[in-house]
Structures are given as structure tokens and as C-alpha cells.
Amino acid sequence: MSLPPVYFHCFRTPVPYTTGLALQERIHALQLLARKASRSHRDYLLLLEHRPVFTFGRRQHETSEGIGAEMMRLKGLGADCVPTQRGGQTTYHGPGQIVGYPLLDLGRSSPPMGIRDYICRLQKTLELHLLEGHNIRHVPSEHTGVFLDPRTKVASIGVQVRHRLTTHGFAMNVTHEPLPWFDKVVACGLTDVRAGCIAEAAKQETTTKAITVAGELPALISRFGRVFGRDVVELDVSADGEVEEAIRATQREAVGAGPWPQIPTP
């Protein structure tokens, strides 16, 4: 039996991180309720940029006593700082970077998809996007994420799975905008690794086309569907429904948040 489609939505205005987190939690709760009632729940893929924010993985804020001082330092740069329940360590999100939040039920398939398989598919999606879209070959690494070379990371993955329902997801640097922010932290705990981006790597491939977040999204969505074996259909956010209303509220909050800092405060 074929699986139902995944419904996607692309936000056009950078979303505050805590607002995006609240949206994920709201959809997760609705999926869980619908599954218990009738198993008619939908899967979703949210694609967006965040306003500048540094986030911390659950291991850091559960075990580290020094995270408070680090958060104060990073807030001084002009970014938000948010502890999360995802895996991984400190990372940055902001304009110029695609963030993807797949909100999927891993139990739909038979047998259910394991967490390791899920993460591998996310990574494969990003690797295919670089290769097919830009002729950029990734370099295999012992670390989770996608690397342009052993010391340059272009994409990260950090997920959470509860009741077989996924939250959090992946982030891929598209333009140079995120790079000065990444320079302010040891991202993902990798001391000898710097952040790279598609625009930087594609320039080395002598491409002439402009590279933007909006321009990357259609092909990335298509590749996500291919790797996961699912149709991916745009969600009609004008429709009645609790998920649609939550997305509209998130869009309003993103627009109302106003301008964001373009570069770290010196």
C-alpha cells in the first residue's frame, strides 16, 4: 500500500526560533491526537529561514554548568539563544540557510522506519541536492551532517523522535550570510571544522546562476520526496484546520517581528 503524501509549506519571512519550535510542538500534538482517534493524521515538511539564533542540544543544557555565560556572550552578538531537545551541540540558524522540519510518523511504513534510517535519508537528500543541483560532491565523514571537505561543513542534522513522530530536522547553508555567525562558535563541537555554503562551493564549480534560498527550495522538496518514497504536496494554508491556522499565526508573528541583525555585533 502506498503511503499518503507529505504536505509542505515554505515560509517567506524569517521565523523567530521559539515561534518555529512552538509550531512544531503544536503540530506534533495534533498529529498524536489524530493518530489516536482515527490514524488519519498528515505528515508535514516545514521549510524556512530563522532569524539569527544560536541553539544548544539537549546534552549541553542538561549537563553543562557553563552554558549560561556562553548564552550571554552570544546574545551580545545580536542573536537569540535557545536550549532545545534535539540531538547535537551548539549550532547557528539564520537568513541564508534553509531549515527543514519534517514532521513525520515513522510508523507509517512496514516495518516502521528506524531513527538511524531516517537520519540517513535526511543526509542522502542533502547530498543529492548538492550533487544534482550544483555538481558539488560531498566528502564522507564520521560525523553527522554534510561536508564539502574534511574541514568544511555545509549542512547539519539534529532530530527528536517521540511516539514515532519526528521534530527538528536539518539545516543547509545556501548563501554566505550565516558564515560570520558560525565563526563565533565551535559549531556542533567540532573544533577543527568551519562552516561552508552552497554559494561558496558552487563558485568553485564556475557556475554563473544566482544562488538563493528561494531558488533552492523546489528541487530540494522534490529530492526529499524521492529519497523518502513519498509524494510531496503543497499545503493549502488558506484552508480551515488547526494546522493551517497555526501556520498562518506563525507567518503573522514572523512578519511582525520586524528587521533582524544582518551581521554579528562587533
Q: What percent of the chain has pLDDT over 90?
A: 79
- Is the pLDDT score of 62 beyond 60? no
d(CA 24, CA 15): 12
Cis peptide before 111 (omega within 30 of 0): yes
In a domain, 235, yes or no: yes
In a domain, 265, yes or no: no
Is residue 1 assigned to a domain? Answer: no
Q: What is the pTM of this model?
A: 0.93
Any domain includes 219: yes
Domain count, the chain: 1
- 54 is in which domain, residue-wise? 6-256
* Cβ 123 vs Cβ 145: under 8 Å: yes
Mean pLDDT of 153-157: 96
Q: Which residues are catalytic?
A: 188
Residue 211 in any domain: the answer is yes
Query: Is 93 contained in some domain?
Result: yes
Residues 6+ apart with CB under 8 A from 17: 50, 51, 53, 55, 80, 82, 93
- Is 201 inside a domain boundary? yes
Look at residue 63 and tell me if it is in a domain: yes
- The rounded distance, in Å, linking the Cα atoms of 107 and 113 is 6
pLDDT digits (tens, 9 = 90+) for 191-238: 789 999 999 999 766 556 789 999 999 999 999 999 999 999 999 999
Could you tell me the CATH number of the domain that includes residue 138? 3.30.930.10
Residue 253: Cβ-neighbour burial (10 angstroms; 0-12, 13-18, 19+): middle
